[in-house]
Amino acid sequence: MSVTVTVEPTRNEDSVVFILDKALLPPGTGSPFSNPLSAKDHPLARALFEIRGVSSIWILGNEVTVTKDHGVSWGSIKAKIVETIKQVES
């Protein structure tokens, strides 16, 4: 079964929240990933860092907050992020 992903903006124009219809971590727990090395043992975070322009990731419950490099547009990476989440988490 495919996971559903909803995209929500944040106050930070370089960060977007991707909300899944399933929990990735237990309630009240989160995992920050500030670079690809920190994500080496987490399949989703590791896959997201393979997308050019992703600078950090925060996973909390059923939410994945992705921060992009300032010079990268969301239009060029948002669909890739959603597709990656669906591939890894379905």
Q: What is the pLDDT of residues 41-53, one digit of tens each?
A: 999 999 999 999 9
What is the reported pLDDT for 28?
86
Q: What is the pLDDT of residues 73-86, one digit of tens each?
A: 999 999 999 999 99
Return the domain boundaries, the chain. 5-89
Compute φ and ψ for 65, nearest 5 degrees: -95, 125
Listed in sequence order, the residues at least 6 apart from 62 whose beta carbon sits closer than 8 Å to its beta carbon are 19, 20, 21, 22, 23, 24
Q: What is the pLDDT of residues 16-66, one digit of tens each?
A: 999 999 999 998 899 999 999 999 999 999 999 999 999 999 999 999 999
CATH pick for 5-89 out of 3.55.50.30, 3.40.50.970, 3.40.50.1820, 3.30.1370.70? 3.30.1370.70
Residue 87 has pLDDT above 80, yes or no: yes
